[in-house]
Amino acid sequence: MSLTPILREKLRGLKAEEEEKIRLEQISKCVNDLYRAAVHKAKTSRDTMYSYSLPRFPTDKNTGIAIPQPEFHRDNMKDILSNLRTLFPDCSVTYTQLARGQDGNMYDISKMDEKVLAFIDKRHNQDCIVIDWS
């Protein structure tokens, strides 16, 4: 068995290298899952949009206030969207907030009129990654 000499500087960077490798693998898995889900929806539905709801932040049981914690999708959103935009080059791929209407459908609040927003119950909004091929 032959061992390779390794410099101190290389040893110092090994943990960061391993963490980045794991992060990129997780991003790849996430992008693959979203890709497959969007293609499946396009094959099985007349809808022209796929939305993935991000997990909500946990809340404090006493106050109901969101507890800020690192969260994979939000922390890596730039890379996730970039990879999805490469896979769906002429589609709209966005990170947005959707609100559930009284009809049960989800609507992008960034496209709503200011007057309508006043009637939206923000407690039920969901952060989503949306792939739109309409």
Two tokens at 52? 């993935």
83 CA to centre of own chain: 11
Two tokens at 82? 């970039």
The yes-or-no verdict on residue 129 having pLDDT over 70 is yes
pTM of the model: 0.77
Question: Rounded to an integer, what distance in angstroms lies between the CA atom of residue 51 and that of residue 37?
Answer: 9
Sign of CA dihedral 14, 20, 24, 26: positive
**pLDDT tens digits, residue range 1-55?**
799 999 999 999 999 999 999 999 999 999 999 999 999 999 999 999 999 988 7
Two tokens at 108? 């992008």
Amino acid at 66: A
**pLDDT tens digits, residue range 50-101?**
999 887 665 555 655 555 554 888 899 999 999 999 999 999 999 998 877 6
What's residue 21's pLDDT? 95
What's residue 59's pLDDT? 56
What's residue 55's pLDDT? 79
Question: Rounded to an integer, what distance in angstroms lies between the CA atom of residue 127 and that of residue 54?
Answer: 6
Two tokens at 8? 């101190």
